């Protein structure tokens, strides 16, 4: 399940409450491509459920991060377990997507930027 919340400062929090695998990737791509999310200056994706992330999910994150940067915004991924976080750092995704421990720190980093 994916929930979307807009914060008072204009950031968008996208909470993913299931493992981000093939079954949920199309839904996430649709959410990230929606006008309401694309208009945000800071998009935070919270991986609330521990679990895996497959290659298609990584592709969606990379495309969304690049698109967000081109519009002058930023994308932050939070809540990833250590295994997922290490994999994202190893394959270089962490250069495009900021990583944070939780949604609160991710949103705070957007306000400070």
- The pLDDT value given to residue 113: 57
- The pLDDT value given to residue 109: 81
Q: CA angle, corner 40, sides to 37 and 46, nearest 5? A: 65
Cα–Cα distance for residue pair 20/43, rounded to 1 Å: 17
Cα–Cα distance for residue pair 61/58, rounded to 1 Å: 5
Which residues lie closer than 8 Å to 83 by C-beta, 6 or more apart? Answer: none
- The pLDDT value given to residue 50: 63
- The pLDDT value given to residue 82: 87
From first to last of the 113 residues of the chain, give the pLDDT tens digit: 899 999 998 899 999 988 887 778 999 999 999 998 998 999 999 987 767 788 888 899 999 999 999 999 999 999 988 888 898 899 998 888 999 999 999 999 876 55
Domains along the sequence of the chain with CATH: 2-105 (3.30.750.24)
- The pLDDT value given to residue 112: 59
Give the residue carrying structure tokens 């990737």. Answer: 25
pTM of the model: 0.90
Cα–Cα distance for residue pair 106/110, rounded to 1 Å: 7
């Amino acid at each position: 399940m994916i929930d979307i919340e807009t914060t008072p400062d204009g950031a968008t929090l996208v909470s993913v409450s299931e493992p981000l695998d093939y079954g949920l990737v199309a839904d996430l791509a649709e959410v990230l491509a929606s006008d309401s999310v694309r208009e945000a200056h800071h998009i935070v994706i919270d991986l609330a459920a521990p679990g895996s992330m497959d290659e298609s999910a990584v592709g969606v994150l990379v495309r969304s991060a690049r698109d967000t940067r081109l519009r002058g915004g930023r994308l932050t991924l939070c809540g990833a377990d250590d295994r997922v976080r290490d994999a994202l750092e190893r394959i270089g995704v962490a250069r495009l997507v900021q990583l944070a421990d939780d949604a609160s720190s991710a949103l705070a980093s957007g306000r400070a930027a």
